[in-house]
Amino acid sequence: MLAVKASRVSKVYKGSRYAALDEVSLDIDAGMTFTLLGRNGAGKTTFVRMCATQLLPTSGRIEVLGYDVASQAGMIRNLISIVPQEGRPLRALTPWDHVYNWLKIRGESNESAKEKSAEILQKLELYDARDRPAMNLSGGMKQKILVAMAMATDAELLFLDEPTIGLDPISRRQVWSAIRDWKDRGRSILLTTHYMDEAEMLSDRVAIIDRGKIIVHGTLQDLRKVIPQNVRVDVAKNGIDPGLLSSYGSVVDTGAGSLRVFTYESAARELSELAIKRNLSFTVSPVTLDDVFVSLVGNAANEEAGSGGADGA
């Protein structure tokens, strides 16, 4: 069963010459966490908003849980829930007001709404602040109110558009835990994020979108294969010749005072010994999704810069 099936979907906003989404085709299986990764303006939110029946595609077809977003939006809206990007709770209302009343608006009985509100507020550590107006809460707590509203529902498919923006590391983990619980109940999630660690922690499958096109998608293991080497060694930039490093593998400048060498375990061992011998600081770690993302999107950006550039949406 598919949670989302997108077939050659394009979106050109009114007044724009460029496609925010360009013939995107994507199948998202139900019961999984699917993450869309991309830079600002890559088209992530446009895709999510179209799936969540908030925006009509210019062309192509999207089916959500088997229903067409253009003609059967009413059916879909009973089955989905969303955390919008940059949403804010109402200032004078408390976390309890938001979650409890939202559940009742969606048709829950008083008892069920109470039970579910208490459960999700506890899960996200908002329960103790349940009676405090949102205006007196931190930015992270405000963001968690919106997450709680969406995750307290019985929806089959949850759209989370950058849900952990502005959250501290502890709060992010609370949201991650709630997302895992949601998935464990057999429900589906379409997540967008800038955070690679978040995508690695939560995703069953990932797609990287850039300038309106899906440039790669698959499992985390599939994506890691984009970089053939499996280890990276970061070596302090000062005191070492980049030419020497390139004999160990492919070298990129991290922009943070070090050079990153993508290589294999045996070469990494030799490189580490060299760094110790020269008294250079270094770190060794596995290749991450972040590296894959930078490799794919960074290369595309460089090619674009070389060819004169174009607007994204």
Nearest to 179 by CA among 66, 63, 34, 3: 34
Of the listed pieces 16-24, 52-60, 171-179, 273-281, which binds another protein according to CB under 8 A?
52-60
Residue 281 engages another protein in binding (rule: CB under 8 A):
no
Q: What angle do CA 122, 125, 127 make, to 5 degrees?
A: 55
One-letter identity of residue 168: D
Is 97 among the residues that bind another protein (CB under 8 A)? yes
| Residue 10 is a binding residue for another protein (CB under 8 A) | no
Q: Two tokens at 149?
A: 């509203």
CA 186/CA 54 separation, integer angstroms:
25
Task: Please tell me whether residue 4 binds another protein under the rule CB under 8 A.
Answer: no
Dig out the tokens for 284 from the structure. Answer: 């060794």
Q: Segment contacting another protein (CB under 8 A): 53-61, 216-224, 229-237, 291-299?
A: 53-61
DSSP 162: S
**Structure tokens that stand for 113 in this block:** 């709404």
Contact status: 293 vs another protein (CB under 8 A): no
Cα dist from 179 to 80, 95, 186, 202, 280, whole Å:
15, 19, 11, 8, 41
Task: Choose between 71 and 238: whose C-beta lies nearer to another protein.
Answer: 71
Q: Does 7 bind another protein (CB under 8 A)?
A: no
**Binding of another protein at residue 89 (CB under 8 A)?**
yes
Task: Give the binding site for another protein (CB under 8 A).
Answer: 1-2, 14, 30, 49, 52-56, 65-67, 73-74, 77-82, 84-90, 92-93, 97-98, 101-102, 104-110, 112, 133, 146, 149-150, 154, 156, 159
